Structures are given as structure tokens and as C-alpha cells.
């Protein structure tokens, strides 16, 4: 069998349906139960540390002047970035008519949703008094004040809330036909009732499909500029300030490329074990893995170019504080935590170049390892940008070193567990490979073969 096929074998519609829907009712895989327990416990750890931070205050964290933004903002940017690949796969690749998006789009969209949920936690906790979180939104307050709409932080609030809502609706619209299939195929009555309610009475009517497909396409059209805007706006949190190392015009495209880069890596990190555990190798084929690896290579090269540009402009601009931050503190290793910067360069600029070679793209162990390294690298990039810049700003008398506390680490690792916890629940309760679209693709490819 060639490694170029998007669907292996020639399953009938009924076989395909049973295969893709059955994770919802077949007995649990042992690994799934183990993962459920571990990630559930980890999520509890997140709630404990987050609750403690709310009750006691964020003095529990390592943040202190001059490093007022640290793990909270790093993790926020990191998680939002991871979410971007989901939207990129489901929206941009749909508009570009890339057939390989079909099997993996639902999976990637769910990843987006759960990643944005983790991201949203951090600014909220960082406020210290999260119960006043709604102050960022304009409402007729008795204090007679309004948010400063010229500031990047209300932009952020608008972007993240729009991004989450649109991603959720896009995901749900795509799910409706598959929920109807679950309603019609599930063995237990209770499942039929619950899936039936969420399927809204969908019956695959041709009259509905013509509207449905238009709206689905419209969501793709909306999500495409949206995904580019969200990380651009996030980057403006930094770029609109004057901190050396932050005040840079390359930030919006640089952040978007980095976001998609880390998101594709996370898709691979999750997909490689999931396709194995649920035996989906025939619909998520090596062709999908290969294409994702190529996307990582492309976006990795854009990220590398952005690093180069950032340093070049610092040097060419010749401004002393900027030069000190970029050159001395990072490149010449005079600032604290310079190791993180070198780790970033290794993981983001050197490692992805292995994907030039087909052999590496075809070896799942290598691919999985690289996908982890890319995520480490992208976390390191955000650490470098945020912490290494703040540690060394204009006045040497204000310089200090940042060190995270165990509460910082607890919340950060807790979100990874919580994210995985939500994800494995998703794998079990809804078809993570979109059934309706895979069937359509199958019929389309069948037609194509016949007409040749």
C-alpha cells in the first residue's frame, strides 16, 4: 500500500461508520483508563494551586519587579499558540481545498478549544482578583469608567473571547451530522437520547445541507483572518510597549508563525498515540503525518527567519538598551537564564530541519520526539521574550533575576494535565475523525478513480 493514500483499504460506509463511531461505546482501552486517572489527578492539582493562588494572592508566584509578567503570560501565549493549528487546519486548509485536512480537523479543533481554555485561565489568575475579570469588558459601570480601547489588553480580551466562541461554534457545527450518526447507531437508549438532543434532530436533508455547507464555509472564511488576528493581537501586548526586546514590528507575523508551528507539533504529539490506541491508522495515515511534518518544517523556517530579523534589527537600530538585551544578555550569555534562549534556538531552528529527510518523517518515534522538542522550544521562546527582556531593561539598578516557585510549576503542569484530561474525554465521547466528511471524501476519491 502506498504511503500517499488518505484512506487505506476500501471500507464500506457502514464499516467506516462503525469504526469511527465505536470509541463511544466499545469497552475502554486499558491505556485510556490509566490516562484518565493520571490526568484527572493532575487536573485536581491545577485546581488546588489555582485555588490557593486566588485565596492567598499571587505573591505565591515568582513574579516580582521588574519581572511582573512571567509564567502566567508565558503559558497564556504558549497555550493560545497551540490552539492556532486547529483553526489553521480546519479553516485555512478547507479554503485551500486540502483533502488531507479531513481526517484530522475535528481532532485539531478540539485541541484548539481545550488549549484556549487553559490559556484563558492565566490572565484571569494573574489579575489576582479574578472575580473582577469582567472589568476588562465595557459595561455601564457605576464608577463611570470604560476600558481604554487603545490598549492592547482589551484587544486581547476581545480577540480571545471571539476566538473561543467561533472555534466552539465551528467545532459544533461540524459535529452535528456525526452526532446524528451516533444517535442512530449507538447501542444504548440513554446514549441515543443524549446524542439525539445534541444532534438537534439532524436528518441529513439535502435542503439543510445546502445551507449547512454555506455556513460551514463562511465559518472557515471568518476563522482564517481570525486566527491570524488573534496571535497578532497577543503579540501587540509586547510590541506596543517600549521594553527592549519587546518593542519590535516583526512580532505579529513572528508570533503567528510560531503559534502555527507549535500547534502542528501538538497535533502530532496527540495524534500519534491516539491513532494507535483507537486503531485509526487507516483514516489517519502516514500521508497525514508526512504533511504535518512538512508544515512544521515550513513554519519552523519562518520562525528561524523571524529570530534572525529580530536580532538584525536590534543590531541595525543601534539603540543601547535594545542591543544589551538582545546581544549581551541573550546571545553573549551575560543575562541570567540564557540557557533557555539557546535551548529555544536548538529546538526551534535546528531540530525541525530533520524533517527535510523523508526517513525522519516516516519514523513515528522520531516524529513524536521532535514534536515534543518543538513544544519545549516554543515555550522557551516565550520565556526568552518575556522574562529575559524584563530582567534586563533600561536601568541597570532595576535589574533582577526571575525564578519561578513551585506554585508556578504546579499551575503550569496542572494545565497540561487538565488539557490532556479534556482531550481524552473528547476522544471517548464524540467521533474524533469526522465521519460525514470522511465518507464524502471517500465517495469523491472513488468517483475520481472511476473517471480515469
Partner 1 sequence: MEGGVFGEFENGEKLVAAARAFKQKGYARMDAFMPCPVHGIEDALGLKRSRLGWAVFPIAMVAVISVMSAMCWLNGTDIFGGYHLNVGGRGGFSYPAYVPITFEAGVMTSALSGLLLLFYVCGLPRLSHPAFDAGNFERATIDRFYIGVSEQDGKFNGETTKKEMKELGAVSVSLVPGDKP
Q: Which residues bind partner 1 (CB under 8 A)?
A: 12-14, 17, 138, 140, 144-146, 148-151, 154-155, 158-159, 161-162, 165-166, 169-170, 173, 177, 180-181, 183-185, 196-197, 200-215, 218-219, 222, 225-226, 229, 233, 236, 436-437, 439-440, 443-444, 447
Burial of 329 (0-12, 13-18, 19+ CB in 10 A): buried
Of 222 and 297, which CB lies nearer to partner 1 in the complex structure? Answer: 222
Of the two residues 33 and 221, which places its CB atom closer to partner 1 in the complex? 221
Could you give the CA distance from residue 137 to residue 85 in angstroms, rounded to a whole number?
A: 27
Cell of 199: 444532534
Q: Tell me if 277 sits within 8 A of 428, measured CB to CB.
A: no
CB nearer to partner 1: pick between 30 and 144: 144
Nearer to partner 1 among residue 68 and residue 204 (C-beta): 204
Residue number, 212 or 368, with CB nearest to partner 1: 212
Q: Describe the crossing of helices 364-383 and 251-277 by its angle, rounded to 10 degrees.
A: 150
Q: Shortest gap between Cβ of 95 and partner 1 (angstroms)?
A: 15
Distance (Å) of CA 61 to CA 49, 97, 130, 402, 451? 10, 46, 15, 10, 64
Sign of the dihedral defined by the CA atoms of residues 307, 309, 310, 316, in that order = positive
Distance CA 415, CA 45 (A): 9
Rank residues 281 and 440 by Cβ distance to partner 1 and give the closer one: 440
How many angstroms separate the Cα of 218 from the Cα of each of 50, 98, 172, 173, 406?
A: 38, 17, 14, 12, 45
Work out how close the CB of 233 gets to partner 1 at its nearest, in angstroms, rounded to a whole number. Answer: 5
Q: Smallest distance from the beta carbon of 266 to partner 1, in angstroms?
A: 24
- What span, in angstroms and rounded, lies between the C-alpha atoms of 220 and 434? 16
- The distance of closest approach from Cβ of residue 81 to partner 1 in the complex, given in angstroms and rounded to an integer, is 18
Q: How far is the CB of 322 from partner 1 (least distance, A)?
A: 21
Closer residue to partner 1 in complex, CB, 155/238 = 155
Question: Least Å distance between CB 45 and partner 1?
Answer: 33
Task: Please classify residue 125 by burial: count the beta carbons closer than 10 Å to its beta carbon, then call 0-12 exposed, 13-18 middle and 19+ buried.
Answer: buried
Q: Which three cell numbers stand for residue 287?
A: 500521508
User: Least CB distance from residue 433 to partner 1, whole Å?
Assistant: 14
Amino acid at each position: 500500500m502506498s504511503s500517499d493514500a488518505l484512506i487505506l483499504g476500501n471500507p464500506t460506509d457502514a464499516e467506516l461508520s462503525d469504526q469511527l463511531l465505536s470509541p463511544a461505546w466499545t469497552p475502554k482501552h486499558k491505556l485510556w483508563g490509566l490516562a484518565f486517572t493520571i490526568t484527572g489527578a493532575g487536573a485536581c492539582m491545577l485546581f488546588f494551586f489555582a485555588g490557593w493562588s486566588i485565596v492567598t494572592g499571587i505573591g505565591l508566584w515568582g513574579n516580582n519587579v521588574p519581572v511582573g509578567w512571567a509564567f502566567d503570560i508565558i503559558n497564556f501565549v504558549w497555550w493560545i499558540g497551540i490552539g492556532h493549528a486547529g483553526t489553521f487546519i480546519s479553516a485555512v486548509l478547507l479554503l485551500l481545498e486540502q483533502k488531507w485536512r479531513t481526517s484530522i480537523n475535528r481532532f485539531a479543533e478540539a485541541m484548539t478549544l481545550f488549549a484556549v481554555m487553559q490559556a484563558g485561565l492565566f490572565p484571569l489568575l494573574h489579575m489576582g482578583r479574578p472575580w473582577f475579570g469582567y472589568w476588562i469588558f465595557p459595561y455601564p459601570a457605576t464608577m463611570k469608567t470604560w476600558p481604554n480601547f487603545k490598549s492592547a489588553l482589551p484587544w486581547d480580551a476581545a480577540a480571545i473571547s471571539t476566538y473561543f466562541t467561533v472555534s466552539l461554534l465551528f467545532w459544533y457545527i461540524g459535529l452535528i451530522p456525526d452526532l446524528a450518526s451516533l444517535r442512530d447507531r449507538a447501542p444504548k437508549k440513554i446514549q441515543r437520547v443524549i446524542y439525539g438532543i445534541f444532534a438537534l434532530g439532524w436528518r441529513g436533508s439535502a435542503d439543510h445541507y445546502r445551507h449547512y455547507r454555506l455556513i460551514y464555509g463562511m465559518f472557515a472564511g471568518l476563522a482564517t483572518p481570525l486566527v491570524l488576528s488573534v496571535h497578532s493581537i497577543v503579540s501587540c501586548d509586547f510590541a506596543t510597549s517600549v521594553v527592549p526586546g519587546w518593542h519590535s514590528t516583526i512580532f505579529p507575523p513572528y508570533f503567528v508563525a510560531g503559534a502555527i508551528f507549535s500547534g502542528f507539533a501538538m497535533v502530532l504529539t496527540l495524534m500519534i498515540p491516539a491513532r494507535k490506541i483507537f486503531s485509526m491508522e487507516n483514516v489517519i495515515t502516514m500521508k497525514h503525518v508526512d504533511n504535518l511534518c512538512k508544515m512544521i518544517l515550513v513554519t519552523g523556517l519562518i520562525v528561524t527567519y523571524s529570530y534572525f530579523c529580530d536580532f538584525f534589527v536590534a543590531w541595525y537600530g543601534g539603540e543601547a538598551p535594545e542591543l544589551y538585551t538582545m546581544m549581551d544578555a541573550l546571545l553573549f550569555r551575560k543575562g541570567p537564564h540564557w540557557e533557555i534562549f539557546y535551548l529555544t534556538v536548538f529546538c526551534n531552528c535546528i531540530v525541525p530541519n530533520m524533517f527535510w529527510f523523508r526517513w525522519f518523517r516516516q519514523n513515528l518515534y522520531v516524529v513524536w520526539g521532535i514534536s515534543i522538542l518543538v513544544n519545549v522550544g516554543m515555550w522557551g521562546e516565550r520565556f526568552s521574550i518575556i522574562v529575559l527582556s524584563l530582567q534586563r531593561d533600561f536601568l541597570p539598578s532595576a535589574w533582577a533575576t526571575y525564578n519561578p516557585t513551585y506554585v508556578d510549576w504546579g499551575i503550569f503542569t496542572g494545565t497540561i494535565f487538565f488539557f490532556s484530561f479534556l482531550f481524552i474525554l473528547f476522544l471517548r465521547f464524540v467521533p474524533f475523525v469526522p465521519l460525514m466528511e470522511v465518507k464524502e471524501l471517500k465517495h469523491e476519491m472513488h468517483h475520481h478513480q472511476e473517471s480515469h
